[in-house]
A and B are shown apart, each in its own frame.
With several copies, the nearest count.
Chain A
Amino acid sequence: MYVKKRRLGRGVAIVGAGVSKFGSFSDKTSRDLFIEAFNELKQSVDRGIDPKDIEALYLGNHIGEYCEGQSLMAPIIAGYLGMIPKPATRVENACVSSGVALREGIIAIASGLYDIVLVGGVEKMTTLSTEGVTDALGSALDALYETPAGFTFPGIYAAMATTYMDKYGAKEEHFMKVAIKNHNNGALNPKAQFNTTIKDIMNGRIAKAKQKGQPIPTWVDEIEFLKDPKANPVVAWPMKLFDCSPITDGASCLLLVAEEVAKSFTDTPVYVIGTGQGSDYPLYEREDMTTILAAKFAAQEAYAMAGVKPEDIQIAEVHDCFTIAELVGIEDIGFFPSGGAIKAIEEGLTARDGAKPINTSGGLKSKGHPVGATGTAQAAEIWLQMRGQAGARQVPGKDISLALTHNVGGSGPTCAIHIYERR
């Protein structure tokens, strides 16, 4: 695969970030969620930001049509932020909508058109039933050839999992270990939808059974709990409930500025030194169904632009919409060789205190996955980790100066990867 070495006209830095609480909020609309994230962003800009100085908005949103009957959402959000008449654009690339919004913001600053750009994403999913969400997210598959075959979004990742199991000998336990790790991190993230470990969920169920005088489950550890189909029913085999990211309401945003003005906002900007985006066919047309070409291409582009290698990256947020996706993802970004993710999860290399901490935020699995908001929420976690502001989940013993986000859309037809530097 030939990757052209690309250069941006100007450097770009993140000087503020905000994330709403992730969860299920029946009385909040997309607008309310985005404002919540934006209010946190305003607080996060060390020397402050006047919203009137923001020159453009790129907004990621995936299924606003299904969830709120709302298209053309970007100018509506801009209106609530007081940004009229500045340009506002919605980017829709399924679960990488705000990852691509971030990329478009970077490109727009690099073009010389703007100095200060707001990028972000929002998704209000809990207005729909599980069936409704399955239908809505299913729109990201190939509507002509995948959905007629009955594939759902979890189903297509499950199919990927069966080829991965067949080719590399992965077992269901390996997927479970990804979920356990990410819940361990999410338990330390107050914004997370599931702000608790799987062990605590298990112990909670045992306590509840005791309290209610019901038969007491005999799970000895989390793996046994996750192997119990009553506790962890199949969604699309081999993906079970605890392999799947939840249905989430949430929003996130970042303030991007041209590198030369970054220091007027903060002493510790986070520079975006690499951006890559790629595309791939639907799963059935891919030469190798255990990898995502869009991610490999995006990663190579981002590494080439940043002038760094996978081994230089200290932490990453990786798109774990399903547990199989994290295993494939950490291989696609070159952290581990093909099939090597199995050993990595077995040996705890991707744990918060491991060699390559992955998803310190809790990942999509535990933090929640408001699809359109996920890309910029990943970057917001990197922002905190790089500035040493991640609180209880701050990676121990590492001064983070190079990090990466890996954000995938749909089953992998699109992916955006960004590399961040703290100087």
Chain B
Amino acid sequence: MVSQKEFTDAAFNQLLGEGKLMASRCKKCGALHLPPKPICVNCQEGNMEWTILKGKGKLAAFTTIAVGLPRMIQEGYGRDNPYCSGIVELEEGPRISARILDVDARNPQKLKVGMPLVVDFLERGEGENKRTLLAFKPV
């Protein structure tokens, strides 16, 4: 019962694991919060509901990273094999940080702010450490 979950990072991640990108919506003013927030930043109300997002959006900002985080180096990325991280603006309005897949990270000049993207879910880790990461890829 998605609608009964608390509006926490744990719930958001569990939903990602189910292939759902969900935001919290303020029942009073309608503001969407992604990642979910339990108190509305707009009107300070604490009456929220879960809402599912279509997972369609456009690239709002990006970078291709050659000197990566340790976890990314462990995935095989590095100076000769950069990866792309971006901020995606969803059709519903909110923006979120995500891995950007299926792009040529060695030629960042070819990537454009505004390019259309669709959500993807990236599984990492095993067993207890299994986690679903939010990702997007070109349409």
> Are A and B direct contacts in the complex by CB distance below 8 Å?
yes
Question: A28 CA to B5 CA in the complex, in Å?
Answer: 12
Residues 18-32 of B contacting A (Cβ, < 8 Å)? none
Contacts known (A138-B69, A283-B61); A159 close to B87, Cβ less than 8 A: yes
Q: Tell me if A79 counts as interface (CB < 8 A to partner B).
A: yes
Which residue of A50, A145, A238, A285 is within 8 Å of B108 (Cβ)? A238
For A155, the chain B residues whose CB sits under 8 A away are 63, 65, 85
Most B CB contacts (10 A, CB to CB) among A84, A235, A238 go to: A235
Q: Which residue of B lies closest to A49 (CB)?
A: B44
Contacts known (A29-B9, A237-B108); A166 close to B96, Cβ less than 8 A: no
Contact B8 A27 (CB under 8 A): yes
Most A CB contacts (10 A, CB to CB) among B85, B95, B134 go to: B85
For A264, the chain B residues whose CB sits under 8 A away are none
Q: Tell me if B73 counts as interface (CB < 8 A to partner A).
A: yes
Contact B96 A284 (CB under 8 A): yes
Contact A152 B67 (CB under 8 A): yes
For A277, the chain B residues whose CB sits under 8 A away are none
Q: Tell me if B10 counts as interface (CB < 8 A to partner A).
A: yes
Contacts known (A52-B44, A151-B85); A32 close to B62, Cβ less than 8 A: no
User: Separation in Å of the B33 CB from the closest CB of chain A?
Assistant: 9
For B41, the chain A residues whose CB sits under 8 A away are 79-80, 82, 84
Q: Tell me if B119 counts as interface (CB < 8 A to partner A).
A: no
For B39, the chain A residues whose CB sits under 8 A away are 35, 38-39, 80-82
Contacts known (A32-B9, A145-B97); A284 close to B67, Cβ less than 8 A: no
Q: Tell me if A1 counts as interface (CB < 8 A to partner B).
A: no
Contact A150 B85 (CB under 8 A): yes
User: Separation in Å of the B110 CB from the closest CB of chain A?
Assistant: 11
For A28, the chain B residues whose CB sits under 8 A away are 8, 10
User: Separation in Å of the A132 CB from the closest CB of chain B?
Assistant: 8
Number of interface residues of A (CB under 8 A): 54
Contact B113 A163 (CB under 8 A): yes
For B67, the chain A residues whose CB sits under 8 A away are 130-131, 134, 152, 154, 235-236
Q: Tell me if A160 counts as interface (CB < 8 A to partner B).
A: yes
For B11, the chain A residues whose CB sits under 8 A away are 27
Q: Tell me if A147 counts as interface (CB < 8 A to partner B).
A: yes
Question: A373 CA to B94 CA in the complex, in Å?
Answer: 32
Q: Which residue of B lies closest to A50 (CB)?
A: B44
User: Separation in Å of the B91 CB from the closest CB of chain A?
Assistant: 16
User: Separation in Å of the A420 CB from the closest CB of chain B?
Assistant: 28
Number of interface residues of B (CB under 8 A): 47
User: Separation in Å of the B107 CB from the closest CB of chain A?
Assistant: 9
Q: Tell me if A227 counts as interface (CB < 8 A to partner B).
A: no
Q: Tell me if A107 counts as interface (CB < 8 A to partner B).
A: no
Residues 92-134 of B contacting A (Cβ, < 8 Å)? 94-99, 108, 112-114, 131, 133-134
Contact B62 A162 (CB under 8 A): yes
Q: Tell me if A149 counts as interface (CB < 8 A to partner B).
A: yes
Contact B6 A236 (CB under 8 A): no
Question: A134 CA to B113 CA in the complex, in Å?
Answer: 26
Most A CB contacts (10 A, CB to CB) among B35, B64, B97 go to: B97
Q: Tell me if A3 counts as interface (CB < 8 A to partner B).
A: no
Question: A158 CA to B100 CA in the complex, in Å?
Answer: 15
User: Separation in Å of the B26 CB from the closest CB of chain A?
Assistant: 11
User: Separation in Å of the A95 CB from the closest CB of chain B?
Assistant: 18
Question: A84 CA to B11 CA in the complex, in Å?
Answer: 24
For B37, the chain A residues whose CB sits under 8 A away are 80
Contact A162 B66 (CB under 8 A): no
Contact B9 A159 (CB under 8 A): no
Q: Which residue of B lies closest to A141 (CB)?
A: B97
Most A CB contacts (10 A, CB to CB) among B11, B65, B108 go to: B65
Question: A149 CA to B96 CA in the complex, in Å?
Answer: 9
Contacts known (A28-B8, A145-B35, A145-B96); A166 close to B113, Cβ less than 8 A: yes
Contacts known (A235-B66, A236-B63); A150 close to B72, Cβ less than 8 A: yes
Which residue of A31, A149, A156, A158 is within 8 Å of B134 (Cβ)? A149
Give 9 new A-B contacts, CB below 8 A, not counting A28-B8, A147-B69, A159-B86: A39-B46, A80-B41, A138-B69, A149-B98, A150-B99, A152-B69, A163-B60, A163-B113, A284-B96
Binding site for B on A (CB under 8 A): 26-29, 31-32, 35, 38-39, 50-52, 79-82, 84, 130-131, 134-135, 138, 142, 144-152, 154-156, 158-163, 166, 233-239, 282-285, 289
A-B contacts, 25 listed (Cβ < 8 Å): A27-B11, A39-B46, A79-B41, A80-B39, A81-B39, A82-B41, A82-B42, A84-B41, A131-B70, A131-B73, A134-B67, A135-B70, A149-B97, A150-B65, A150-B69, A150-B83, A150-B84, A152-B67, A155-B85, A159-B86, A162-B63, A237-B66, A237-B82, A283-B61, A283-B97
Closest 10 interchain pairs by CB? A158-B63, A27-B10, A149-B97, A166-B113, A159-B61, A237-B108, A150-B85, A82-B41, A163-B61, A236-B63
